């Protein structure tokens, strides 16, 4: 242990520069007693340290948000919202991330911060567990985003296919002949005569028959005004029933 500077008494006693030898000689020959410190202070001193960020949402560390009484009293979050974020030195226990600790150099004490309510799902968890869950959530978000993009691409492809088929079908349509149009008009007239001969239509079966008959008429420009009126009345009666 070359870095240790031995006292004259140690050199006279021939104490070896070995930590345990120096400790034993000091206990036996040096007056006084070891200082005692509170258990919490010692525990705090051996915890790992890092920097957290004061934001308008809370004291952010490893994707989690904390709050403490000092932050509330000194209005840290309001200041962060009005100006800008800043860093604070903290200590934390990686085996339980329920709390983190901020050291106050001026007062020589620390403030314990606790998780905000909406972040309390991480209470009692280790840092490793929290990091794993955060990574899993990010991967799931990427998967859902990719699935949504794929669905959108497939939808656009389906729409393009439908449009193309519709254009193709329209191009292949053959205009109806005069004979077909006359035949359709005669059919409409026959339906109209049947309706006019049965003005007293009341049963549901008769109403259904009207609905079927009028549905078979294509399109409405080939229907006479009377047939159109009867069709509208039948639809209204169906709606009321």
Q: Distance between terminal CA atoms of the chain?
A: 103
Q: Does residue 239 have a pLDDT over 70?
A: no
CA-closest candidate to residue 49, choices 95, 90, 86: 90
Chain segment 163-215, per-residue pLDDT in tens: 787 778 777 765 556 666 666 566 656 655 665 565 544 444 444 454 544 55
Distance between CA atoms of 90 and 104, rounded to whole angstroms? 10
Distance between CA atoms of 60 and 65, rounded to whole angstroms? 5
- Decide the pairing of beta strands 99-104 and 59-61: unpaired
Distance between CA atoms of 113 and 59, rounded to whole angstroms? 8
Give the model's confidence band at 87: pLDDT under 50 very low, under 70 low, under 90 confident, else very high: very high
Distance between CA atoms of 27 and 10, rounded to whole angstroms? 12
Q: Which of 59-63, 72-76, 114-118, 164-168 has the lowest mean pLDDT?
A: 164-168
Q: Which residue has the higher pLDDT, 97 or 208?
A: 97
Q: Are 49 and 90 in contact (CB under 8 A)?
A: yes
Q: Are 22 and 10 in contact (CB under 8 A)?
A: yes
What is the per-residue DSSP string for the chain? Answer: -TT----HHHHHHT--S-HHHHHHHHHHHS-S------HHHHHHHHS-EEEEEE-SS-EEETTEEEE-HHHHHTTHHHHHHHS--EEEEEEE-TT-TTEEEEEETTTTEEEEEEE-GGGGGGTT--HHHHHHHHHHHHHHHHHHHHHHHHHHHHHHHHHHHHHHHHHHHHHHPPPPPHHHHHHHHHHHHHHHHHHHH-----SHHHHHHHHHHHHTS--GGGS-HHHHHHHHHHHHHHHH-
Q: Which residue has the higher pLDDT, 162 or 241?
A: 162
| pTM as predicted | 0.50
Chain segment 10-55, per-residue pLDDT in tens: 888 888 888 888 888 888 887 666 677 777 777 777 889 999 999 9
Q: Which of 36-50, 61-75, 172-186, 220-234 has the lowest mean pLDDT?
A: 220-234
Distance between CA atoms of 98 and 113, rounded to whole angstroms? 9
């Amino acid at each position: 242990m070359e870095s240790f500077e031995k006292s004259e008494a140690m050199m006279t006693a021939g104490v070896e520069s070995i930590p345990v030898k120096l400790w034993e000689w000091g206990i036996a020959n040096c007056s006084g007693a070891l200082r005692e410190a509170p258990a919490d202070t010692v525990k705090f001193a051996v915890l790992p340290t890092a920097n957290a960020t004061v934001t308008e949402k809370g004291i952010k560390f490893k994707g989690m948000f904390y709050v403490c009484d000092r932050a509330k009293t000194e209005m840290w979050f309001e200041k962060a919202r009005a100006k800008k974020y800043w860093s604070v030195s903290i200590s934390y226990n990686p085996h339980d991330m329920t709390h983190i600790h901020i050291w106050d150099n001026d007062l020589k004490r620390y403030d314990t911060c606790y998780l905000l309510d909406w972040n309390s799902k991480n209470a009692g968890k280790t840092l490793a567990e929290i990091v794993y869950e955060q990574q899993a959530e990010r991967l799931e978000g990427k998967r859902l985003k990719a699935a949504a993009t794929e669905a959108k691409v497939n939808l656009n492809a389906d729409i393009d296919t439908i449009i193309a088929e519709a254009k193709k079908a329209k191009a292949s349509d053959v205009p109806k002949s005069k004979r077909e149009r006359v035949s359709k008009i005669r059919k409409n007239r026959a339906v109209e005569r049947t309706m006019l001969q049965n003005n007293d239509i009341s049963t549901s079966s008769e109403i259904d028959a009207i609905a079927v008959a009028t549905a078979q008429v294509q399109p409405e420009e080939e229907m006479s005004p009377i047939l159109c009126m009867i069709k509208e009345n039948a639809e209204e009666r169906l709606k009321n029933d």
